[in-house]
Amino acid sequence: MNARLSPLSLAHPDLRFAATRSGLNVPFVARGEGEPVIFVHGSLCDYRYWSGQAAILSRSFMCISLSLSHYWPVAQDRAQSDFTWKAHVAELAEFIEALNLGPVHLVGHSRGGCIAFHMAQQYPYLVQTLTLADPGGPLQTGDTPPPALPPATAALRAEVAALIEAGEIDAGLTMFVDSVSMPGTWSKSPAGFRNMAIDNALTLPKQFRDELPAYTQALAAGVRCKTLLVQGERSPHTYRDNVAQLQQWLPQADKQQIAGASHGMNVSHPAAFNRVLQAFIDGAGR
């Protein structure tokens, strides 16, 4: 791995920092050797979200997980960058170029799945395979743009943002996490996930102001690499609807379901998720 490392690496010895051509210092962890697998986190998360994958899959691959700009651990150092999905797509591409690793096996979850999808569509030369776990964002199945958020969803997001910005972090995260998974998920979440979400809570109001783009058949046709779509058996229907439609649209798509899992499938059911991902990457090379 030939990375352009930032001097920030000295201040955070447990991390490495890749200096991109746009001037960002992107924190990441790398573990293992072999073909590179890049993991992209979603809402409220950072590079720590994928620890259950790196611990096992690093036996076969070089597992690299990063924190997108504005997320822990150095959000304040990079507050000058825009918090938008477009900025994160470009940042991810520059990160892979800075590490000189493309084409990579790219894995994204939730909002990170949307970012990974658009990076594969816009920068196909950097992506060997694409894995989308419960990809976030709306669907556009015809010429008509997808409808606006349901009033109940919009109201919930406004209340979550208000709670978080008022310092009521636990109350806001309880509402949000339970809404994208299942009631009671936040209170039952492991301490590691809860601490990570609290560290990243202030990104949530920013995210609500930056709506994700719609998946369309035309965009999906531009993703030419082999793609694995993964859903939790108990994930909210919006994510399962995305998986079902993308399976039809993507030229080379396979689908797997993690039994008994909801949205945070790779954390709650890491062994099953890891088996599915390793089998896909191994098979893609044949």
What's the pLDDT band for 80 if we cut at 50, 70, 90? low
Q: How many domains does the chain have?
A: 1
Strand partners for 27: 17
Residues 223-267 pLDDT 10s = 999 999 999 999 999 999 999 999 999 999 999 999 999 999 999
Residues 89-128 pLDDT 10s = 999 999 999 999 989 999 999 999 999 999 999 999 999 9
> Is 261 part of a structural domain of the chain?
yes
Q: Give the H/E segment covering residue 182.
A: none
CATH code of residue 249: 3.40.50.1820
Backbone angles phi, psi at 187, to 5 degrees: -65, -25
> Is 202 part of a structural domain of the chain?
no
> Is 84 part of a structural domain of the chain?
yes
* pLDDT reported for residue 77: 47
Show the domain range for 270.
7-143+212-284
Residues 197-227 pLDDT 10s = 999 999 999 999 999 999 999 999 999 999 9
What's the pLDDT band for 1 if we cut at 50, 70, 90? low
Cα 269 to chain centroid, rounded: 17
Q: How far is CA 251 from CA 10, 134, 160, 220, 224, in A?
A: 44, 18, 38, 8, 7
* pLDDT reported for residue 75: 61
